Amino acid sequence: MDVDPADAAAVERARAALERVAERLAAAGARDEALAEHVEPKPVLGIRRRPTMRSLGRAWRLGALLVTRDGAVWQTGISTRVAEPGRPQFHAASVEQRRAYRAAALQGGFPLGETVNHAIAPIPIDAPLIGGDGALVVRGGEALVRWGTDAPVPLERYLDDLADLLLHPPEGAGG
């Protein structure tokens, strides 16, 4: 497949923008979050073992994207705040699923209060971005981010805006 030079240049600009925002956030000591893989261990001698979460590193949450220190990017998935999971109460399935995720995060050694992102997907910064359908795409020579149902926005503006919010949250936003 022939790649439009403008699209190829947009991929390179996206890579550079992600690296710049990672450098900016690292230099400012911005709060990052854990990345993890939810693991269902295989039974041993027929005995089922508890699910756990395996660390995949750390990243800054910038809306639909999770950006690591080296500028790699992941698409967000499920975010779990580590807390004591409590006992099953047979509530709604979604309540029990969140309880199970908290238990898996504790089992994985994540500290109480930590935010753990799982069910995440790496986004390769290369040719598949061109005309793709994920959160980060390249179209018409421009890298764009889709978040929710909003129209795609230019990546560099998106990163700048969300990095500013992370570094300077509005009063009363907590943190």
Q: Tell me the mean pLDDT in the region 24-52.
A: 92
| Start-to-end CA span in the chain (Å) | 46
H-type helices in the chain, by residue range? 5-28, 93-107, 155-167
Domain residue spans in the chain? 5-167
Per residue in 77-93, pLDDT tens? 999 999 887 776 666 88
The pTM of the full predicted model, rounded to 2 decimals, is 0.89
State the residue for tokens 């919010």. Answer: 165
- Does 36 have pLDDT greater than 70? yes
3-state secondary structure of 56: strand
pLDDT in tens, 148-165: 777 899 999 999 999 999
The angle subtended at Cα 111 by Cα 42 and Cα 89, nearest 5°, is 65
Q: State the average pLDDT over residues 109-118.
A: 97
Bridge partners, 47 (sequence order): 44
